[in-house]
Amino acid sequence: MSESRGAILVAVLLVAAVALAIAFPQIGERSGPIVAERAAGASSSNGAAPFSDFQKNEIRNTVREYLLENPTVIVEAIEGLQRRQQPAAAGQQHSGNNALSANMDRLVNARRDPSIGNPNATVTVVEFFDCQCPYCKRMAQDLAKLVEEDPDLRVVFKEFPVFVTESTLANRAALAAVKQGKYQEFHLAVIKLRGAPSENALFRLADRLGLDQDRLRRDMESQEIETMIQSNYRLAQQIVVRGTPAFIVGDQLVPGAMSPEGIRELIAQKRKGSLSLIHISEPTRPLY
């Protein structure tokens, strides 16, 4: 490859890298230098001398000037990327919708899942959560208040320890508390803990709430609870839950934290029968 053709290749790759970096900074930071290095390496692998630092800097300056004079190039690159991504995203969304519908009974009617509110309610809200997720912590009291306000509402909790090492112990303890009729109290107490919930902290909470600690420990170590947690992992994967909290209201999966008003609106839509099968494939924040 001639030096001029190599320069053109580098320029084209840099345009793409710059466009991606603007649209997706976290990708650009990782990809930009690698793209440049590989492009430069490509010319040298064919026998031509690699670019000097001065030449590379000149190329970068040329590309920068070109982009400033022709900013629509960036828009065109982003639009092209989006067009290529749309079929895959649509297929994933359709798959998630189908899985949500197919697993509705497991989401709403699993007998072992802890729940609060009216067991015979006509509206059920399902939450996948992690006790250390700050958004889950923020919403815990909101959900409890909604149940108090609405006698025809039930909230099902899917213990989903994505902070695996730190949270699994607390999730096991909370599920074990179900057997002593203390899930809601224990759940809210754990949510209020600061930092990773240690075994000592969990058993202090259990003692304060009047739980039998020996029984709690035995139940925490049971295969039944391990099976429940693993089942929640598989279910989350099937319906494309990527973050916590994630809510299912009617046929709708809503990732990310919501305001109490937002949840009330979804509940109202469910009662009116106006919720359609909608799956939001992108979470509003990273997985916790």
Rounded to whole angstroms, the Cα distance separating 99 from 102 reads 5
Burial class (CB in 10 A: 0-12, 13-18, 19+), 70: exposed
Looking at the chain, the whole-number percentage of residues with pLDDT higher than 70 is: 68
146-165 pLDDT tens trace: 999 999 999 999 999 988 77
Kindly give, in sequence order, each residue whose CB lies less than 8 Å from that of residue 73, ignoring residues fewer than 6 positions away: 15, 19, 66, 67
pLDDT confidence of residue 107: 93
Rounded to whole angstroms, the Cα distance separating 199 from 203 reads 6
180-223 pLDDT tens trace: 999 999 999 999 998 889 999 999 999 999 999 999 999 999 99
In this predicted structure, the answer to whether residue 20 has a pLDDT above a threshold of 70 is: no
Question: What pTM was estimated for this model as a whole?
Answer: 0.63
pLDDT confidence of residue 8: 44
Chain mean pLDDT for the chain: 77
49-71 pLDDT tens trace: 667 777 777 777 787 777 777 76
How far out from the chain centre does Cα 124 lie? 21
- The dihedral built from the CA positions of residue 96, 97, 102 and 103, taken in this order, carries a sign that is positive
In this predicted structure, the answer to whether residue 9 has a pLDDT above a threshold of 50 is: no
Tell me the backbone φ, ψ of residue 158, rounded to 5 degrees. Answer: -105, 100
Q: In the chain, at which residue ranges do the beta strands (DSSP E only) sit?
A: 115-117, 123-129, 153-159, 246-249, 252-255
Q: Which DSSP category does 83 fall into?
A: H
